[in-house]
């Protein structure tokens, strides 16, 4: 079954919830096998070296994520604390996934379309940011921030006002001929119930993301919402700062080169899994983005009732950057 996300043609043995189906294609960039593992997985796992152990743990004290290298480094096995496993080949062209009986395909898809696809993109040479991306006048505007900063909620507020959305949570940036293109992800925005309440008045207005989790999703394929299906050039980056309720709330300022670079580095996806070559490639990409794209810091208001004002503020600021090139920042030598 052919589907597409992040510019990849995905061939899966089942329809993956949330991503777009696509027509016949001679390409197959990524093969996904849901519900089974290669017969050799368990044999290779015996005595395999642990590649990564997350410092964070679940309520039972288990690491949230363990990763092993198998077959001499040709494959990575990712095991989440709930028992969901992903096997990824080093080229980022094949994924296998299994999960416990009490979980569902929808649960597994949340991992697949989040951290797993972020890791796959990294293996394929594409770097990603913890961010949301919206379309304004045919250009991509990226809203960056750590977990809980309000990226998804802000993207949903833009979607509600009629703007097309390219991506949420994982924003992949393709570096093609010195042009930074933001790749379209999939037509959903994942939201916590409190964000749904702030936007729509009640937490159950939107459908649940999975049968076992209270997170919801906004479908961008109807009801006045729009998904941007083509890649767009990156035109500006807005970095969400800590929410405020003083006189600085709802304000935007330019970021200096060093602060902007640090903000992007801190919000790269799968950064704990990078080797030296990946880090060097990432640093090169981010320094060139900083030098050529305006990076701005945004002080949101602590109250979600100001979401419309926040979107208007970002729009006004973006339109004020009439000459994107003149607003770029020189990297200090």
pLDDT tens by residue, 103-145: 999 999 999 999 999 999 999 999 999 999 999 999 999 999 8
Write the DSSP assignment of 156-168 as a string of letters: HHHHHTT-EEEEE
The pLDDT value recorded for residue 329 is 38
Which residue in 323, 311, 327 sits closest to 254, CA to CA?
A: 327
Average confidence (pLDDT) over 61-71: 93
Tell me, rounded to whole angstroms, the distance of Cα 191 from its chain centroid.
13
Structure tokens at 68: 């092993």
Query: Is residue 169 a contact partner of residue 117, using CB atoms and an 8 Å limit?
Result: no
CA distances from residue 255 to 132, 190, 212, 312 in whole angstroms, order as listed: 19, 28, 41, 20
At 271, the pLDDT band (50, 70, 90 cuts) reads confident
Query: Is residue 191 a contact partner of residue 217, using CB atoms and an 8 Å limit?
Result: yes
Q: Are strands 179-182 and 164-176 parallel, antiparallel or unpaired?
A: antiparallel
DSSP state of 116: I
Average confidence (pLDDT) over 286-305: 93
Q: Is 325 a residue whose pLDDT tops 70?
A: no
Which residue in 141, 145, 87, 139 sits closest to 116, CA to CA?
A: 87
The pLDDT value recorded for residue 275 is 82
Query: Is residue 315 a contact partner of residue 258, using CB atoms and an 8 Å limit?
Result: no
Structure tokens at 119: 């890791």
The pLDDT value recorded for residue 2 is 93
Residue with tokens 């030098």: 291
pLDDT tens by residue, 224-256: 999 999 999 999 999 999 888 888 889 999 999
Residue scoring higher pLDDT (324 or 70): 70
pLDDT tens by residue, 84-106: 999 999 999 999 999 999 999 99
At 322, the pLDDT band (50, 70, 90 cuts) reads low
Average confidence (pLDDT) over 170-187: 92
* Domain ranges for the chain: 2-123, 127-327
Quick one: 127-327 is in which CATH superfamily?
P-loop containing nucleotide triphosphate hydrolases (3.40.50.300)
């Amino acid at each position: 079954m052919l589907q597409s996300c992040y510019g990849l043609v995905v061939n899966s043995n089942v329809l993956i919830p949330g991503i777009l189906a696509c027509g016949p294609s001679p390409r197959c960039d990524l093969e996904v096998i849901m519900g089974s593992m290669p017969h050799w997985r368990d044999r290779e796992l015996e005595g395999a070296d642990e590649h990564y152990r997350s410092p964070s743990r679940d309520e039972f004290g288990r690491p949230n994520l363990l990763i092993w290298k198998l077959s001499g480094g040709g494959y990575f096995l990712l095991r989440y604390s709930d028992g969901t496993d992903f096997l990824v080949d080093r080229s980022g062209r094949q994924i296998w996934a299994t999960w416990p009986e009490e979980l569902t395909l929808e649960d597994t898809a949340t991992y697949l379309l989040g951290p797993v696809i972020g890791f796959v993109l990294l293996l394929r040479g594409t770097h990603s940011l913890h961010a949301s991306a919206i379309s304004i006048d045919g250009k991509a505007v990226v809203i960056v921030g750590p977990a809980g900063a309000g990226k998804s909620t802000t993207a949903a507020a833009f979607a509600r006002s009629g703007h097309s959305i390219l991506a949420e949570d994982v924003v992949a940036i393709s570096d093609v001929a010195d042009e930074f293109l933001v790749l379209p992800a999939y037509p959903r925005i994942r939201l916590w119930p409190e964000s749904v309440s702030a936007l729509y008045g009640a937490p159950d207005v939107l459908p649940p993301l999975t049968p076992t989790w209270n997170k919801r999703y906004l479908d961008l394929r109807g009801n006045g919402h729009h998904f941007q299906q083509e890649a767009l050039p990156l035109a500006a980056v807005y970095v969400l700062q800590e929410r405020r309720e003083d006189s600085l709330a709802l304000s935007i300022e330019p970021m200096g080169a060093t602060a902007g670079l640090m903000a992007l580095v801190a919000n790269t996806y799968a950064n704990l899994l990078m080797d030296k070559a990946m880090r060097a490639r990432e640093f090169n990409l981010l320094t060139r983005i900083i030098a050529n794209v305006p990076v701005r810091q945004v002080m949101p208001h602590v109250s979600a009732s100001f979401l419309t004002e926040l979107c208007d503020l970002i729009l006004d600021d973006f339109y004020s950057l009439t000459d994107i090139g003149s607003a770029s920042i020189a990297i200090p030598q």
